[in-house]
């Protein structure tokens, strides 16, 4: 089983739609969770951290379910500019090794 798993997609959604991505992780000792966004041939950029209580940033909502070991990202009112690959990132203890999921590709269609 991979340490961090995501549905690679692509998710093709119309503008204005709501879309959700899930990500599962295998290490129950994982401590921190993030969503990054990566545009084609660019470096990943932090989208948001994921807190235990869940957090929201504008149209983006992230949630963590430790019992089931998954995190989710909800995007409301999708914009064309949201088209990108969304990477789930999990960080463990020790040297705080960071593990990336393979990413979920989102394509927002006019």
Partner 1 sequence: GAVVSQHPSWVICKSGTSVKIECRSLDFQATTMFWYRQFPKQSLMLMATSNEGSKATYEQGVEKDKFLINHASLTLSTLTVTSAHPEDSSFYICSARGPSGGAVDTQYFGPGTRLTVL
Residue appearing with tokens 């990477």: 87
Q: Which residues contact 93 (CB under 8 A, 6 or more apart)?
A: 29, 31
Residue appearing with tokens 């909502």: 61
In angstroms, rounded to a whole number, what is the distance separating the alpha carbons of residues 98 and 77? 30
Binding partner 1 (rule: CB under 8 A), the pick from 61, 82, 84, 101 is 101
66 binds partner 1 (CB under 8 A): no
25 binds partner 1 (CB under 8 A): no
CB of 80 to partner 1, least distance (A): 22
1 binds partner 1 (CB under 8 A): no
- Contact segment (CB under 8 A) with partner 1 among 20-28, 34-42, 58-66, 71-79 equals 34-42
């Amino acid at each position: 089983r991979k340490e961090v798993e995501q549905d690679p997609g692509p998710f093709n959604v119309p503008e204005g739609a709501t879309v959700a991505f899930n990500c599962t992780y295998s290490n129950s000792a994982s401590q921190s969770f993030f969503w990054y966004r990566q545009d084609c041939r660019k470096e990943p950029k932090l989208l948001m951290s994921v807190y235990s209580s869940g957090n929201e940033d504008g149209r983006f909502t992230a949630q963590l379910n430790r019992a089931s070991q998954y995190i989710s990202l909800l995007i409301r009112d999708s914009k064309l500019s949201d088209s990108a690959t969304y990477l789930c990132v999990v960080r463990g203890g020790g040297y705080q090794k960071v593990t990336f999921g393979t990413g979920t590709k989102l394509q927002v269609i006019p």
